[in-house]
Structure 1
Amino acid sequence: MPYSYTPHRFEDFEIGEEFRSVGRTVTESDLVMHSAFSGDWTELHTNREYAEDGAFGERVVHGPMTFILATGFVYRCGFLERTVIAFLGMNYMNIPAPVAVGDTISLSMEVIEKKEFSSRDDAGLVVIDSTMTNQDDEVVFEGDMKFMVKTEE
């Protein structure tokens, strides 16, 4: 399966179509930038001494950061480049395991739903089920992302 995709309009998506992102190693800078941007400096994420005595034995990234990394993978793949109108939410999202600084993660995606809107003819709904794993194939994020995608012009 290739790692770079052409932009898809609503009509281009097929139920069962799969995409896979490249891998990416989470860095200390990623964690610091997320903390600074969000204002979340919780010690579990930013205090090594405190985190080593905690449930995970090390600092882990913020749960919302894990979600943001997943959305970044979707856009990095390129199939929504200049065709997405809006992110409409999710029906479910799970973060079953933490992501730590130094983990290498990637995202697998599958189109699970496609629906025309009755209220507009310039876009449709595309739902993409996604699973992010780390270097040990441990699932660290799961969820379905709903997108409003442009139709053919």
Structure 2
Amino acid sequence: MQVIDRYFEDFAVGEIRRTLGRTVTEADVVLHAGQSGDFFPHHMDERWCVEEAGLGGRIAHGTLIIAIAVGMTAGDVNPQAMSYGYDRIRFIKPVLIGDTITVTAQITEVTDHPRRPELGRVDELVTVTNQRGDTVLSLVHLYVVTKRGSE
């Protein structure tokens, strides 16, 4: 993977990145359940999901979809940028095992850091869609980014 150094000054509002698809598997869900301790039936019990809850199948943990989506865009984070957190996380529709998700990330704000003049803050709207084009997750990913000449 090629690393591209991008400084705060290199980001522009409106810039858009899109990923390829990634299919959510049973292994993903089971591993995440073990890591998180979340073994609730809507993630683990196919019969309950279909017959009792009418869900159409087991659904992936929302936190799993966040992790996958952020991982799908992580290759674009470079040595000058660091994740600062996430705002306005919304689980809009469930992701079923076997769904394929894609991620779009759009820069929505580029501002100076309020306390550290050598840094700026870059906000991007992250939208996750399934294979049918339905939005399943939305969040704002916040970054702090080194300003050119401050490193």
Length-normalised TM-score, structure 2: 0.89
Q: Which stretch shows the higher mean deviation, 143-152 or 20-29?
A: 143-152
- C-alpha deviation, 1:71, in angstroms: 1.3
Contact 1:8–1:79 (CA under 8 A) maintained in structure 2: no
Aligned pairs for 1:100-111 within 5 A: 100-111=96-107
Which aligned runs of 4 or more in structure 1 are off by greater than 6 angstroms?
none
- C-alpha deviation, 1:36, in angstroms: 0.7
1:37-58 CA-partner distances (Å, limit 9, x unpaired) = 1011111101111111213121
Question: Counterpart amino acid of 2:85?
Answer: L
Contact 2:3–2:78 (CA under 8 A) maintained in structure 1: no
Question: Counterpart amino acid of 1:67?
Answer: I
Aligned pairs for 1:1-153 within 5 A: 6-53=4-51, 54-75=53-74, 78-90=75-87, 92-152=88-148, 153=151
Contact 1:88–1:148 (CA under 8 A) maintained in structure 2: no
Contact 1:7–1:79 (CA under 8 A) maintained in structure 2: no
Question: Counterpart amino acid of 2:71?
Answer: G
CA distance in 2, matches of 1:88, 1:149: 13
- C-alpha deviation, 1:82, in angstroms: 2.1
1:63-88 CA-partner distances (Å, limit 9, x unpaired) = 2212222211220xx22122223323
Question: Counterpart amino acid of 1:84?
Answer: A
Superposition CA RMSD, Å: 1.7
Contact 1:44–1:60 (CA under 8 A) maintained in structure 2: yes
Contact 2:86–2:139 (CA under 8 A) maintained in structure 1: no
Ranges in structure 1 where 5+ consecutive residues have no aligned partner: none
CA distance in 2, matches of 1:150, 1:114: 12
Ranges in structure 2 where 5+ consecutive residues have no aligned partner: none
CA distance in 1, matches of 2:28, 2:5: 27
